[in-house]
Amino acid sequence: MNRFEQRLRRGVTLFVLVAFSLLPLQSRAQELSLSSAPSTDPAARSLPPSSLSPNLLPSSLLPVSSLPEGSSTSAHPYSPSDVEVSWKSLPKKFLRDEKDMWLFPTQLAKGRHWLPTALVVGGTAGFIVADPPLMRKFRRTDNFHDFNNVFKTSISGGMIAIVPAGFYVASLIRRDSYGQSTALLAGEAVAHDAVLMIVTKAITRRARPSEFPPEGRYNDTFFATHNSLLGKGSSFPSGHAMMSFSVATVFAERYKRHKWVPYVAYGLAAAISFSRVSNGSHFPSDVFFGATMGYVIARYDVLRGEH
């Protein structure tokens, strides 16, 4: 590895840690500035600051932690910003969300969610058809050599783990309960991803692209590998893509008021996911399905709130 690659890798890792570790501090500063802002209500303006009730301020100006119970910062009854979790409540929430995830087919039986399901299934099928020619092109080129070194398997996996963990420590030090909940929710999403990934890999037993020669046909890839009980060695789906998009979705939804957060979060998730194809670890369909499931699990299961 040359010096440029080492510096680039360190720069990416440092940027991720610094950017996301500053979120609790920025959120706290925003809450303080909003709570000290003068009220536009004449009646409230005449009261001393210590006597101002949260009910006198518009809900859009209040930090989530100060909103009355049952209220929401958006028109949606289960806004991702409203979800709170602690170590005590996390196991119960995990089991409830896990149950909802595996009972999703019952929703289809009731005629719900058919369009997004068709898009995911159709998109995955389309990529499976396109996998052989796309994979041959990726394995014939060395244009992504430096990119692959920066986002190699160990580095990208470490980034997925270190962002929620580092963010939780930073939020704990700053006594930011919202930030702690965000990190725990990201961890919960990754745990759901791991369960779904293990089951799916164990069933599909898809061979990885690296098991074929660069100019191979890449046909008959499913049910073609003798993987372990936990699905290790199976290609479908991409765990890195699934988990990176789950973590990105939690942070993007919980901190969307910071306009740069969704761009950074989804940008890093996309880079990690793309690297799984460019380095020959996964087929494009593995990544597409994994990234889609990661987003869906985080957005519509973990961040759904009480249901």
Residue 275 lies in a domain: yes
Q: Alpha helix (H) ranges present in the chain?
A: 3-21, 23-35, 42-45, 90-102, 104-109, 114-140, 145-150, 153-173, 177-204, 239-254, 260-278, 284-300
pLDDT at position 2 over 90:
no
CB 161 within 8 A of CB 191: no
Cα(105)–Cα(22) distance, integer angstroms = 40
- Kindly state the average pLDDT of the residues 234-251: 96
Question: Where does the pLDDT of residue 52 fall: very low under 50, low under 70, confident under 90, or very high at 90 and above?
Answer: very low
Residue 81 lies in a domain: no
Residue 32 lies in a domain: no
pLDDT at 79: 78
- Give the count of domains, the chain: 1
Structural domain containing residue 275 = 88-304
Cα(193)–Cα(299) distance, integer angstroms = 13
41 sits in the region (left: phi over 0; alpha: psi -120 to 50; else beta) called beta
Question: Where does the pLDDT of residue 65 fall: very low under 50, low under 70, confident under 90, or very high at 90 and above?
Answer: very low
Question: Where does the pLDDT of residue 304 fall: very low under 50, low under 70, confident under 90, or very high at 90 and above?
Answer: confident
pLDDT at 154: 87
Question: Where does the pLDDT of residue 230 fall: very low under 50, low under 70, confident under 90, or very high at 90 and above?
Answer: low
The overall average pLDDT reported for the chain is 80
pLDDT at 172: 95
List, as one string, the DSSP characters of 203-236: HH-PPPGGGS-TT----S-TT-----TT-TT--S
Residue with tokens 């692209």: 209
Exposure letters 246-283 (e unless 16+ CB within 10 A, then b): bbbbbbbbbbeebeebbebbbebbbbbbbbbbbbbbbb
Residue 186 lies in a domain: yes
Cα(46)–Cα(38) distance, integer angstroms = 10
Query: What pLDDT, in 10s, does the model give residues 143-183?
Result: 998 899 889 888 899 999 999 999 999 999 999 999 999 99
Cα(103)–Cα(282) distance, integer angstroms = 28
Residue 218 lies in a domain: yes
Query: How many residues appear in the chain?
Result: 307
pLDDT at 229: 67
Query: What pLDDT, in 10s, does the model give residues 131-144?
Result: 999 999 999 998 99
Residue 44 lies in a domain: no
pLDDT at 265: 96
Looking up residue 142, the CATH number of its domain turns out to be: 1.10.606.20
pTM of the prediction? 0.77
Residue 19 lies in a domain: no
Residue 220 lies in a domain: yes
pLDDT at 57: 33
